[in-house]
Amino acid sequence: MSIPARRPAPTAPAGAFLAACRREAVPHTPVWIMRQAGRYLPEYRELRARYDFATLTREPELAAEVTLQPLRRFALDAAILFSDIMTPVEGMGVPVEFSPGPVIAEPVRTRAQVEALRPLEPEVGVPFVLESVRLVRAALPSSVALIGFCGAPFTLLCYLVTGRGSKEFAPARVLLQRDPDTAQLLLARLADAMAAYLAAQARAGAQALMLFESWAGLLSPDDYARFARPAAARVLERLRPLGVPLIYFANDAASLLEHVARLPIDVAGIDWRQSLASARATLGPRIAVQGNLDPAALFAAPAVLRQRIDRVLAEAGPPLGHIFNLGHGIWPDTDPDAVALLVDHVHERTASRTGPAR
């Protein structure tokens, strides 16, 4: 299961990804892609035809294989564990099915249900995730970082309360308004569970930890500051002592970025809805940025795609502290050749710059 990349990244002994997280000098702008392990790859679809989604996330050999698939094709600077943000919730005593998105047969809506949630003990509740992390880390060269991740508490609350994916997640947002105390208790329980979960992933070999706040954009700035941000901060503060870079990706959060800037994070993921220049202006020099090419751009003609990539690099501005990524997960019908073009173009374009920073 080792993965000599088809086309190795330019020399990056210490790992360009981890250096960029810390805003240190890098040999090239590192690049990885949200959902890089997934349906756009024929080899993933082949495995998926034999195993259902839950099995792929729960069998360490399979999860590791899926995690490594894109690394064999592309000179990516980081791997991200193949899993689902709802996976650890099962370790809290809430059964989750995937059809194809997460479905919770009994949504968590009452104080009694929240109080009945079990604290997460990752080694007991989700040992297979930690085993997957160990397998992947052992298979990766030292120049490729392994990212562990979880859902941020508010985003997990959205699914737990609503019971499935939704455009509005109305039941979750109603809970915040009608019964804010129960909502805060649920967020605290989820924050404690996710802190334990990410810490266990780090102990197992994850070298950076990422929180996905997929549904940040459902909240007004006031409610984000009152509910989602403090819960994310509770996770992040527990993790800071580990010394592992912390990444927070709040989707659809252009008007929340002032609040994001005050989180104890190393890197902010930025979606495609705002320029990295404006994000940098709000986040300040302390926080690196990750992003933010529109996933739709991978469907443009190659010459146009290169222009779009160059534009993202230009908007990222200062060479330090930029990790190239899409602004959202890659779409299932993307051509893998477009991904190859993207990865190689980012490396070539940024390695050719002179100066000590790249």
Residue 50 is a binding residue for a copy of itself (CB under 8 A): no
Residue 52 is a binding residue for a copy of itself (CB under 8 A): no
Read off the DSSP letter of residue 241.
G
N- to C-terminal Cα separation, the chain: 31
Query: How far apart are the C-alpha atoms of 215 and 218, rounded to whole Å?
Result: 6
Among the listed ranges 29-37, 89-97, 135-143, 327-335, the one in contact with a copy of itself (CB under 8 A) is 327-335
Q: Which two tokens stand for residue 300?
A: 């443009």
Residue 181 is a binding residue for a copy of itself (CB under 8 A): no
Residue 178 is a binding residue for a copy of itself (CB under 8 A): yes
- CA distances 200 to 69, 91, 131, 146, 204, Å, are 24, 13, 11, 14, 6
Residue 242 is a binding residue for a copy of itself (CB under 8 A): no
Residues 182-241 touching a copy of itself, rule: CB under 8 A, are 217, 219-223
Residue 141 is a binding residue for a copy of itself (CB under 8 A): no
Q: Where are the beta strands (DSSP E) in the chain?
A: 78-80, 97-98, 102-103, 145-151, 208-213, 246-250, 267-269, 288-293, 322-326
Sign of CA dihedral 127, 132, 138, 142: negative
Residue 297 is a binding residue for a copy of itself (CB under 8 A): yes
Q: Which two tokens stand for residue 219?
A: 């909240």
Q: Which residue is catalytic, options 40, 58, 73, 84? A: 84
CB nearer to a copy of itself: pick between 20 and 175: 175
Residue 296 is a binding residue for a copy of itself (CB under 8 A): yes
Q: Are 175 and 181 in contact (CB under 8 A)?
A: no
Q: Which two tokens stand for residue 12?
A: 């990056």
Residue 177 is a binding residue for a copy of itself (CB under 8 A): yes
* Active site annotation includes 39: yes
Neighbours of 123 (CB within 10 A): 14
Kindly state the smallest distance separating residue 108's Cβ from a copy of itself, in Å.
Answer: 18
Q: Which two tokens stand for residue 347?
A: 């490396």
Sign of CA dihedral 196, 199, 204, 209: positive
Kindly state the smallest distance separating residue 223's Cβ from a copy of itself, in Å.
Answer: 7
Residue 275 is a binding residue for a copy of itself (CB under 8 A): yes
Q: Which residue is catalytic, options 39, 72, 226, 238? A: 39
Per CB under 8 A, residues contacting a copy of itself are 167-168, 170, 173-174, 176-178, 217, 219-223, 252, 254-255, 272-275, 278, 294, 296-297, 299-301, 304, 311, 327, 331, 333
Catalytic residues: 35, 39, 48, 84, 159
